[in-house]
Structure 1
Amino acid sequence: MEYKLFDDYITLQSLLKTTGLLHSGGAIKSFLAENQVLVNGQEENRRGKKLRVGDLVELPEQAKTITLAAPSPEEIQEHENDLAEKARVAAIVKEMNKQNKLQKQTKIGKKQARAPRQTKHTSEQTDRRPVRFPGT
C-alpha cells in the first residue's frame, strides 16, 4: 500500500488510523504491545514515532506493507484545493452559527422584556397540579 504524505511527517498512530488499519488510540496502543511493527526494518512500538517520505512500515502478522511517498504536483494542488474548500465551508458554518445565536438571544431578550403575568394560586389550584418527583 502506498500512502501519500502531504506534510513533513505523520505519526505511526495517525498513519494506522488514517489508513483504516486500526480505529482508535487505545486499539493502536494494545496492537503495538501485542504485534510486531517494523519501521524501515526495525521493530517499533512507539505510537508517536514520526514517519517521513521514503519510510517503510511493515505489519508482518497482517501481511501489510505501507510505503510513504511524496505526492505529485497535481495531487498537492488538489489537496490544497480540498483544504481551501473545507476552510470556506467551516467559515460559512461558523457565521451561520453566530447568526443563529444572535437570533436566539434577541428572542430571549424580547421574552424577558415582557411583563410577567401575575397569577394567584388558591389552595385548590395547587392541589390539582401533578406531583413532580426529583429526577423525572
Structure 2
Amino acid sequence: MAADFIKLDQFLKIINVVRSGGEAKLIIRSGEVLVNGEMELRRGRKLYDEDIVTIEDTSFTVHIST
C-alpha cells in the first residue's frame, strides 16, 4: 500500500526546488515555504493530496498516487 502523504522536504526535492535535504531544511527554516497559505517551518510536515505548497510566487499542488 502506498503512503497517503509525503514529507515537505521530500516534496521539495521531487519538484526540483532543492537538490538536497540540507538545502530543503534551509529554505523551510528561512520561512520561504507556505503550505496552504501558512508559513511552515517543519521539514517533516506531512503533505496530503491537494495541499498547496508555495515558494516565492510559485505554487505547487500535491498529488498523491495510491
How far apart are the structure 2 equivalents of 1:29 and 1:69? 22
TM-score after normalising by structure 1: 0.43
Give the structure, 1 or 2, with the largest relative contact order (CA under 8 Å, sep 6 or more): 2
Q: Which string of whole-angstrom CA distances, capped at 9 and with x for unpartnered residues, describes residues 68-92 of structure 1?
A: 1355xxxx6xxxxxxxxxxxxxxxx
2:12 equivalent in structure 1: 16
Q: Find 1:50's aligned residue among 46, 51, 58.
A: 46
**Structure with the higher fraction of residues in helix conformation:** 1
Q: Which string of whole-angstrom CA distances, capped at 9 and with x for unpartnered residues, describes residues 18-66 of structure 1?
A: 1111011111111112242110111101110000001011112xx2211
How far apart are the structure 2 equivalents of 1:58 and 1:39? 6
Number of residue pairs the alignment of both structures matches:
65
Q: Percent identity?
A: 35
**Structure with the higher fraction of residues in strand conformation:** 2
Which ranges of structure 1 fall in alignment gaps of 5 or more residues?
1-5, 77-136
Which ranges of structure 2 fall in alignment gaps of 5 or more residues?
none
2:61 equivalent in structure 1: 67
Distance 1:42 1:69, change over 3 A: same
Where does structure 1 differ by over 6 angstroms across 4 or more consecutive aligned residues?
A: none
Distance 1:49 1:70, change over 3 A: closer
Q: Which string of whole-angstrom CA distances, capped at 9 and with x for unpartnered residues, describes residues 76-116 of structure 1?
A: 6xxxxxxxxxxxxxxxxxxxxxxxxxxxxxxxxxxxxxxxx
Secondary structure (helix, strand or coil) at the match of 1:57 reads strand
How far apart are the structure 2 equivalents of 1:10 and 1:41? 18
Confirm or deny: 8 A CA contact 2:50 2:62 kept in the other structure. Answer: yes
TM-score after normalising by structure 2: 0.83
Aligned alpha-carbon RMSD (Å): 1.8
